[in-house]
Chain A
Amino acid sequence: MAFEDSDVPTAVKIVVAGGFGTGKTTLVGAVSEIPPLRTEELLTEAGTYVDDLAGIEGKETTTVALDFGRITINQRIVLYLFGTPGQNRFWFMWDELATGAIGAVVLVDTRRLDSSFPSIDFFERRNIPFLVAVNMFDDSYDYSIDELRSALDLDSRIPVVKCDARVRQSGKEVLVGLIQHAMSRLEPAAR
């Protein structure tokens, strides 16, 4: 190869999940250095993933949109933030997103707690580090963290924080919390 590895940054990713309307793309946009981009994946009507275009001309297809942003950490590392597409029939895409990720932020809207249950369940089952970020909408009741933890039936080791997904500083703190949580799950550093 006619290039040095150092020419190409190491890419890492964080998944931003949660129910519909919990502010996933808003959070991505608040911390991203570029306006969120949208990319699309092809699906057949049966909901199966198109990873091969052979025979596709005879099939009904639909697309699933994926919003993402980017943060250049330094010259050697770039961080991507991916908002998950809708739940249920798009789990295959969640698997692709979650593989090798630092972890996930699960956004919660206290007015619709149940909309984020499937996201929490997904990361719990796969043992992927995640943090629950309660997006404080203006008209949402300010529950205590303990109340929320109990309502979401969360393991005491899962961090729960409140945030305003529109605010860069708040989004930054959410990411810091997730990365620290991911680090806490690693084996102790070798001496």
Chain B
Amino acid sequence: MSSRENWWYDEAAGPLVRPYAMVRGRTRPAGELHLITQVLAMPTVSDPSSLSVDHREILDRCARPTSVAELAAHLNVPLVVVKVLLSDLLQRGDIVVHNRPHADVPDRNLLQAVLDGVRGL
């Protein structure tokens, strides 16, 4: 573990290597992961010992629904990195994700509910 941790935190590794090293060569996020996609951890994780620290932090933070953008901010990694980590967890079945149809404009009922909510702030 210690050699990996050196990669992880060593500033000399620079911003190029770090994201790549974190996902250990896996590159392509899968599925519909957008900034505001809501991520929820499943109550039981399949095989915790095979997960990295970052995977586990994601699962901890997603005990309640959390957005992809918030996860990236809290883990302090670029969005593309958190998306790759989330893809791993999706494949394992350890999380579920929830999207409104991405390109759809919110309908009247949804807008009315948001309007009421903002007025009540």
Contact = CB atoms under 8 A, between A and B. Distances in A.
Most A CB atoms within 10 A — which of B23, B29, B84, B100?
B100
B77 to A, nearest CB: 8
Interface pairs A-B: 7 shortest CB-CB = A73-B117, A37-B73, A11-B36, A53-B27, A8-B98, A54-B27, A39-B72
A5 to B, nearest CB: 7
Interface of B: 15-17, 19-20, 23, 26-29, 34-38, 40, 42-43, 65, 67, 69-70, 72-74, 78-81, 84, 96, 98-108, 110-119, 121
A40 to B, nearest CB: 5
B105 A61 contact: no
Contact of A183 (B16, B81, B100, B115): B115
A1 B96 contact: yes
Contact of A80 (B42, B67, B74, B111): B67
A74 interface: yes
B78 A41 contact: yes
Given A39-B73, A100-B103, A183-B111, A71 B96 contact: no
A40 B72 contact: yes
Interface in A29-81: 31, 37-42, 50-54, 56-57, 59-61, 63, 66, 68, 70-71, 73-74, 76-80
Interface of A: 1-3, 5, 7-13, 31, 37-42, 50-54, 56-57, 59-61, 63, 66, 68, 70-71, 73-74, 76-80, 82, 96-97, 99-100, 102, 168, 172, 175-176, 179-180, 182-183, 186, 189
Contacts of A70: 67, 70
Contact of A79 (B37, B102, B114): B114
Nearest to B119: A176
Nearest to B44: A2
Contacts of A179: 111, 114-115, 118
29 contacts: A2-B43, A3-B42, A3-B96, A8-B40, A8-B96, A8-B98, A11-B67, A11-B100, A31-B121, A37-B69, A39-B69, A41-B78, A52-B28, A53-B19, A53-B23, A53-B80, A63-B15, A68-B69, A70-B70, A73-B113, A73-B117, A73-B118, A80-B36, A100-B103, A168-B121, A176-B118, A179-B115, A183-B108, A189-B108
Contacts of A80: 35-36, 67, 69
A41 B105 contact: no
Contacts of A1: 96
Contacts of A189: 108
A71 B38 contact: no
A13 B104 CA distance: 12
B118 to A, nearest CB: 5
